[in-house]
Chains A and B, each alone.
Chain A
Amino acid sequence: MSDIAIDMRGISKQFGPVKALENVDLQVRKGSVHGIVGANGAGKSTIIKILAGIYRLSDGEVEIDGKPIDTITPASIEKEGVHFIHQDRLLVPTATASEAVFLNNEPRVGPFLNARRMKREAVELIKKHFQVEIDPDTLVRDLSAAQQKIVQISRALANKAKVLVLDEPTAALVAAEVTSLFGVLRALRDDNIAIVFISHYMQEIMDICDDVTILRNGENAGNVVPAESSIEEIVALMVNRDTSEMYPRRTAEIGEPVLQLENGTRVGHFENVDVEVHKGEVLGLTGLLGSGDKQLLKCMFGLDQFDAGTFTLNGNRRQFGSPAEAVKAGLAMIPEDRRAHGVAVDLSVSDNISIASINSHSNNGYVDTKSEANMVNGLIAELGVKTPDRFLPVRNLSGGNQQKVVVAKWLSCESSVYLLDDPTVAVDVGAKVEIYNLINRLAGEGKGIIFVSSDLEETVEMCDRILVMYRGRIVGKYQRGEIDSDQLLAVASGASTDIREVP
């Protein structure tokens, strides 16, 4: 019997040319809560996915409870007693709560399912650990986010988990739910269960973790004991303080307003939101998951409708019923989920770039291939898209180059306002810098930019003004330089006392 539950040594992982992890060590003691922190793209989720058997490691060794593990699969890792509470709640939506708790571990009588016992034990298990009652017959899709988390953790407990890995477990929870979750985690820790806890929220890390491993750019940046450390120290290890290279300076002139929203409301998402963007300005919009920032972009782009409010674009009052109308009026969207909404990876670079503007390169419905080729080649050269020719399927490009293709698509239709929804998510550092350069360039051409990002550091560094949303309302407005990323986190997470009273 070893005192170490998980011992990962020298872990490396490569995706094509991109090094996601390099020589990372992670040791988790039994009976402890071990935090993993790092900025976006630091490698947190990669190391978890390696442990979960979703990614194969390129190099390194893994020992569970002192026992070396050669190949990890989702099935084998559960047998070792390691359970994962994934961020995207991996639950079958049409299963009942009790079925979800006991999936692949169902109580039975002979060959039959013992549904009665299954329901009773699910209720008891949940009650014992969480002191709440969940109707075992409720469908998973009808459960709240917090209840789904409870079901997920209960499933691990029903399987006698020895290690519990929680990836951003508090993301969709309200404060009281977080508190009760922490109570449960402490009780489990006292039962000698090892817990791996991944979170963006520094205060939570300080509250719950016994040890913390800090990752930065795919490498170990340090291990600290929160009780003997401070948020400042951890954050300093997390972020690249050498930001002068990372965030290129911008010299754009800020002109007249191009987009205005007054009292924008979408019931259940945001309320009475005012936004104004000027030509050449980068407006940062930030908030934690569920703060309403992303839904706000959707309403502006016609993917959803405002319930109330005045929306003005280029001086005209608008309400877009579909993205087609928004695009025609000069809006551009760089979506968060690039593979679902940004680029069609099976289509060529050329097809992806020209899709939004192909109509203006056509005569009577026929594509003017010469004019299209000129436009596409021009944009490829202008933005420095690394591709041998314009006919290469986009799937063969790196993440940063794919993102350039999305920007090229909008440059081709001369959009006046760009809505950027987490454009740097899941791209490596080099590509990030290129995207920042693109943003500066757009601003330099007099475009208005709304930049939604969950990366607070980049928000602080890149934006002329910053709006912070919390639970559907704007709770802070700052000019460039008025706020740093730690303070921004405090405001966005509702941690500073004056904000907490905002309904």
Chain B
Amino acid sequence: MDTTVSDTKSSIDRRALAAVFVRLGAFAALGIILLYFAIYARGFTSSFNLQNVVEQSVILTILAYGMTVVFIGTGTDVQKGGIDLAVAANAGLSGAVFVTLLNLGWPEPLAVLAAIFTGMAMGFLNGLAVVVFRMIPLLATLAVMNIASGLELTITENNVIGVSSEFLSTLQFGRFLGISALAWVLIVFTIFVAFLMHYSPFGVRLYAVGGFPEAARAAGLNVGRNIYFSYIFSGFCAGFTSILIVSRLSASTLGTGLLLLPVLAAALLGTVFSRRFVPTIGGTLIASLFVGFLANGFQLLGVSSYWVSGVQGALILLVVALTSFAKKSEGA
């Protein structure tokens, strides 16, 4: 009996060790890469550059929050669990709606609401397909992504539609306490989502629903409603981001849908920065800033930007292989 006990104990130790190793490894890799950039990439550490990277990452980060919330509420088994492939296309559509309404002379607050509403409506469509029609999330969100990007193209007729307003230029150029408006948006939004996910009863329940739906159901939680929420919230993030995109470019442009892959990469990479290897807001923030710094560092070093997506892909594979290794070492 003693042997059994000590064996389970040592296997837990080994597993905890492996987990710590992976997580520390992730932080160490992050640190080493940043340090390398700081030493070799001229201007990397200048406050101008740092702020620039943060601003560039705002859009990616908030979209990745949407994806993260979907992962939290529906589990990280992307094949059978949940995923929101529509989030980026959705942002593109919301942006097109926003710009078009502004140009039609709608008052700004109404146009903002309409953009966010558009995002949430597409999110609702995702939820409907997954919860009511029981479509595989991968497929459901794929179809919605097609619809969203098609609608975006239709509204914009494949053109860049310019727009300018005081509100948008404040968002673009405004500063407060030496920090740009976009950075403030990121800070406030992060605090908001982090509270919702990590410091509210709601978040605990959403994690439970995503972590083990049967257990959540047995605890009396409404699983379907939580899944709806995940997708609608992801749509909200998309709508919200679309306003930032428009303000940054003073226009609605095509190609927002291309953000999907970096968004996925950030949300998946983020899991490695959490103690439980689950999606977290903090992890996603670190991961998407990391993705941003990586691109920036390469640029400053004069490395071709063509490397960026390959490095992201390799990182995803590395992270997933390592986490599955860390989980597997729990020893049969």
Which positions in A face B, CB cutoff 8 Å? 52, 74-75, 78-79, 84, 86, 90-95, 99, 102-104, 106, 108, 111-113, 115, 139, 141-142, 144, 155, 174, 267-269, 271, 304, 471-472, 503
Question: B1: which of A52, A108, A471 is its contact (CB, 8 Å)?
Answer: A471
Q: Complex: how many Å from CA A266 to CA B219?
A: 37
Looking at B203, B208, B277, the one whose CB has the most chain A CB atoms below 10 A away is: B208
Are A471 and B4 interface neighbours, CB within 8 A?
yes
Taking the nearest CB of chain B, how far is it from the CB of A445, in angstroms? Answer: 34
Are B220 and A503 interface neighbours, CB within 8 A?
no
Contact with A along B1-28 (1 / 0, CB 8 A): 1111001100110001000000000000
Q: Complex: how many Å from CA A113 to CA B208?
A: 15
CB of B212 closer than 8 Å to a CB of A: yes
Nearest residue, chain A, Cβ from B278: A94
CB of B310 closer than 8 Å to a CB of A: no
Q: Complex: how many Å from CA A106 to CA B219?
A: 12
Are A268 and B11 interface neighbours, CB within 8 A?
yes
Question: B211: which of A93, A104, A111 is its contact (CB, 8 Å)?
Answer: A93
Are B201 and A108 interface neighbours, CB within 8 A?
yes
Are B200 and A113 interface neighbours, CB within 8 A?
yes
A-B contact count (CB 8 A): 90
Contact with A along B182-207 (1 / 0, CB 8 A): 00000000000001000111011101
CB of B49 closer than 8 Å to a CB of A: no
Are A104 and B1 interface neighbours, CB within 8 A?
no
CB contacts (< 8 Å) of B219 on chain A: these are 74, 78, 90, 103-104, 155
CB of B221 closer than 8 Å to a CB of A: yes
Are B211 and A113 interface neighbours, CB within 8 A?
no
CB of B179 closer than 8 Å to a CB of A: no
Are B199 and A86 interface neighbours, CB within 8 A?
no
Are B4 and A142 interface neighbours, CB within 8 A?
no
Taking the nearest CB of chain B, how far is it from the CB of A185, in angstroms? Answer: 21
CB of B132 closer than 8 Å to a CB of A: no
Q: Complex: how many Å from CA A102 to CA B2?
A: 33
Are A144 and B212 interface neighbours, CB within 8 A?
no
Contact with A along B301-332 (1 / 0, CB 8 A): 00000000000000000000000000000111
A86-B218, A268-B4, A304-B332 as given contacts; A115 in contact with B208, CB under 8 Å:
no
Q: Complex: how many Å from CA A304 to CA B220?
A: 37
Question: B3: which of A79, A92, A503 is its contact (CB, 8 Å)?
Answer: A503
A84-B218, A144-B8, A268-B8 as given contacts; A92 in contact with B16, CB under 8 Å:
no
**Residues of A contacting B: mostly:** loop
A-B contact pairs, 27 of them (CB 8 A): A74-B218, A84-B218, A90-B218, A92-B207, A92-B211, A92-B215, A92-B216, A93-B211, A94-B277, A94-B278, A95-B207, A95-B208, A99-B207, A99-B208, A102-B204, A103-B219, A104-B205, A104-B221, A108-B201, A113-B199, A113-B203, A139-B276, A142-B12, A268-B332, A503-B1, A503-B2, A503-B3
CB contacts (< 8 Å) of A103 on chain B: these are 204-205, 208, 216, 219, 221
Are B212 and A92 interface neighbours, CB within 8 A?
yes
CB of B222 closer than 8 Å to a CB of A: yes
Question: B220: which of A74, A113, A174, A268 is its contact (CB, 8 Å)?
Answer: A74
Nearest residue, chain A, Cβ from B277: A94
A74-B218, A86-B218, A104-B221 as given contacts; A94 in contact with B7, CB under 8 Å:
no
Name 19 extra pairs, CB < 8 A, besides A144-B8, A472-B4: A52-B218, A74-B219, A84-B218, A86-B218, A90-B215, A90-B218, A102-B204, A103-B205, A103-B208, A104-B205, A104-B208, A111-B200, A112-B199, A112-B200, A113-B203, A142-B12, A267-B7, A268-B7, A271-B3
Taking the nearest CB of chain B, how far is it from the CB of A140, in angstroms? Answer: 9
CB contacts (< 8 Å) of B205 on chain A: these are 103-104, 106
Are B204 and A99 interface neighbours, CB within 8 A?
yes
CB contacts (< 8 Å) of A139 on chain B: these are 276
Q: Which 7 A-B pairs give the minimum distances between C-beta atoms?
A: A75-B220, A106-B201, A92-B211, A268-B7, A90-B215, A92-B212, A94-B211
CB contacts (< 8 Å) of A92 on chain B: these are 207-208, 211-212, 215-216
Nearest residue, chain A, Cβ from B5: A174
Are A75 and B3 interface neighbours, CB within 8 A?
no
Taking the nearest CB of chain B, how far is it from the CB of A284, in angstroms? Answer: 24
CB contacts (< 8 Å) of A79 on chain B: these are 220
Q: Complex: how many Å from CA A167 to CA B3?
A: 28
A106-B201, A115-B199, A268-B331 as given contacts; A90 in contact with B4, CB under 8 Å:
no
Are A91 and B199 interface neighbours, CB within 8 A?
no
Nearest residue, chain A, Cβ from B330: A141
Q: Complex: how many Å from CA A503 to CA B2?
A: 8
CB contacts (< 8 Å) of B11 on chain A: these are 268
Question: A93: which of B212, B218, B220, B331 is its contact (CB, 8 Å)?
Answer: B212
Nearest residue, chain B, Cβ from A52: B218
Nearest residue, chain B, Cβ from A103: B219
Are B332 and A113 interface neighbours, CB within 8 A?
no
Nearest residue, chain A, Cβ from B201: A106
CB contacts (< 8 Å) of B3 on chain A: these are 271, 503
CB contacts (< 8 Å) of B175 on chain A: these are none
Contact with A along B132-143 (1 / 0, CB 8 A): 000000000000
Q: Complex: how many Å from CA A427 to CA B201?
A: 42
Taking the nearest CB of chain A, how far is it from the CB of B332, in angstroms? Answer: 7
Taking the nearest CB of chain A, how far is it from the CB of B198, in angstroms? Answer: 8
Are A174 and B201 interface neighbours, CB within 8 A?
no
CB of B217 closer than 8 Å to a CB of A: yes
Question: A91: which of B8, B16, B215, B276 is its contact (CB, 8 Å)?
Answer: B215
A103-B205, A268-B4, A471-B4 as given contacts; A94 in contact with B200, CB under 8 Å:
no
A92-B212, A139-B276, A142-B16 as given contacts; A74 in contact with B217, CB under 8 Å:
yes
Are A95 and B211 interface neighbours, CB within 8 A?
yes
Taking the nearest CB of chain B, how far is it from the CB of A236, in angstroms? Answer: 33
CB contacts (< 8 Å) of A113 on chain B: these are 199-201, 203-204
CB contacts (< 8 Å) of A471 on chain B: these are 1, 4
Q: Complex: how many Å from CA A95 to CA B330?
A: 17
Are B204 and A95 interface neighbours, CB within 8 A?
yes
CB contacts (< 8 Å) of A90 on chain B: these are 212, 214-215, 218-219
Q: Complex: how many Å from CA A92 to CA B212?
A: 5
